[in-house]
Amino acid sequence: MARRSSLLLILFGVVLVQACRKDPSAEMEELVVGAYRPTPLQLDIPTWALDSIHPVILPSSNPLTVEGVALGRRLFYEKALSDDYSMSCGSCHQQAHAFSDPRQFSLGTDGSVGRRNSMTIQNAVWDHFFFWDTRAATLEQQAFGPVTNHAEMRNTWPVVEERLRAHPEYPALFAKAFGDARIDSIRVVRAIAQFERTLLTFNSPYDRYVHGGDLTAMTEQQVRGMELFFGDAHCGDCHAAPRIQDHGAQNIGLGRNSSDLGMMEFTGLEIHRGRFKNPSLRNVAVSAPYMHDGRFNTLEEVMHFYAEEVDLADPNLDQHMFAWTFGFVDLDAQERADLVAFMHALTDEEFLTNPAFSDPN
């Protein structure tokens, strides 16, 4: 009887030990995580660019790390994301053009023509929504779209994931960025979003003049244009300093006959007809063509529109356009030229050529 009891105790002990043992794959994953922790990254933002009204948006679900940003940079320029290996995010968001496309509409891998101009990517860490119609609430959500869009990369996420898993370098890069080598679409867009949040631009002649105290950074004409921009021309009503942006979506009176409904396509609300995201005007001189449909090729054409062609009868005209509604904006030829000159002073050459933002391949 005693011998039988001893055997039972031994068997019970074996079962208990087995029950408490971890799954081998989970145990290995825990070892990998414990062996390598990504390095936290702090954005280098000048103090004058920070304010309490528009705080930076850094989601806790996707903290910035040195390794995550490095991976995101690789993926931003990775053509394996497209169906035929011909296109990356960087194909339509080119650094020399403030990460926008100099074409009116970008082309898909099969030659399909898009219907909206490719937006700039700069100081996006402050943005509340993305795409011209505001349909994405985060950079991560935005990054999902182009890969599967039939007018862009025309791929599927399972194909992308398999390609990256089979790559000789990506598994190790994902392990460094996230603690283990698992590769999926969530991690891909998180890494890309991390990289995009580092695309900061605050070193234009305007910045050096206003915030750096360098009175030689801008010409007399550019100074006159700056005073107009934030004064009687009312450009600053929608493009406020220091980011030269509003972080909203407005109907600026481009015309009521457009087939592009703008924000209304996303919300279904008539009041949103003709509303589009307000882009930053930083680096605007290198990011032509302009407006959501790329209708204007030059800044001079844009000035002509604001001076003479705003559709004041549009029932959805934004309240920010009150100065036009009441006839306060009256720009002569010299004032238009001064405004264009000032907008050239918003070009940050360092941002456009920074090797940390370029294709690492």
Please tell me the predicted confidence (pLDDT) of residue 34.
Answer: 52
- Whether a cis peptide bond, with omega within 30° of 0, leads into 289 is yes
The dihedrals phi and psi of 249, each to the nearest 5 degrees, come to: -130, 125
Model pTM score: 0.89
Residue 20 scores a pLDDT above 60: no
Please tell me the predicted confidence (pLDDT) of residue 35.
Answer: 63
Q: Are 142 and 131 in contact (CB under 8 A)?
A: yes
Q: Give me the mean pLDDT over the 136-152 stretch.
A: 96
Categorize the per-residue pLDDT at 33 as very low, low, confident or very high, splitting at 50, 70 and 90: very low
* Residues recognised as catalytic: 152
- Could you report the per-residue pLDDT of 286-319, keeping only the tens digit for each? 999 999 999 999 999 999 999 999 999 999 999 9
- Could you report the per-residue pLDDT of 184-227, keeping only the tens digit for each? 999 999 999 999 999 999 999 999 999 999 999 999 999 999 99
Q: Which tokens go with 40?
A: 């936290």
- Could you report the per-residue pLDDT of 163-178, keeping only the tens digit for each? 999 999 999 999 999 9
Domains in the chain: boundaries = 47-200, 205-351
Q: How far is CA 101 from CA 163, 205, 339, 358, in A?
A: 27, 23, 23, 15
Least Cα distance to 123 among 281, 237, 248, 277 occurs for 281
Q: Which tokens go with 299?
A: 């800044």
Residue 1 scores a pLDDT above 60: no
DSSP conformation letters of 22-75: PPHHHHHHHHHHHH--PPB------GGG--SSS-----TTS--BHHHHHHHHHH
Tally Cβ neighbours within 10 Å of residue 258.
13
CA atoms of 259 and 246, how far apart (whole Å)? 25
Categorize the per-residue pLDDT at 6 as very low, low, confident or very high, splitting at 50, 70 and 90: very low
Residue 256 scores a pLDDT above 60: yes
Those residues with Cβ within 8 angstroms of residue 54's Cβ, 6 or more apart along the chain or in another chain: 126, 243, 247
Q: Give me the mean pLDDT over the 95-116 stretch.
A: 97
At 265, is the secondary structure helix, strand, or coil? Answer: helix
What does DSSP say about strands 276-277 and 249-250: parallel, antiparallel, or unpaired?
A: antiparallel
CA atoms of 79 and 125, how far apart (whole Å)? 25
Q: Which tokens go with 354?
A: 């920074």
Question: Would 47-200 and 205-351 be classified into the same CATH topology?
Answer: yes
Q: What is the CATH number of domain 47-200?
A: 1.10.760.10
**N- to C-terminal Cα separation, the chain:** 74
Those residues with Cβ within 8 angstroms of residue 13's Cβ, 6 or more apart along the chain or in another chain: none
CATH (one of 1.10.3720.10, 3.40.50.300, 1.10.760.10, 3.30.70.20) for 205-351: 1.10.760.10
- Could you report the per-residue pLDDT of 64-97, keeping only the tens digit for each? 999 999 999 999 999 999 999 999 999 999 999 9
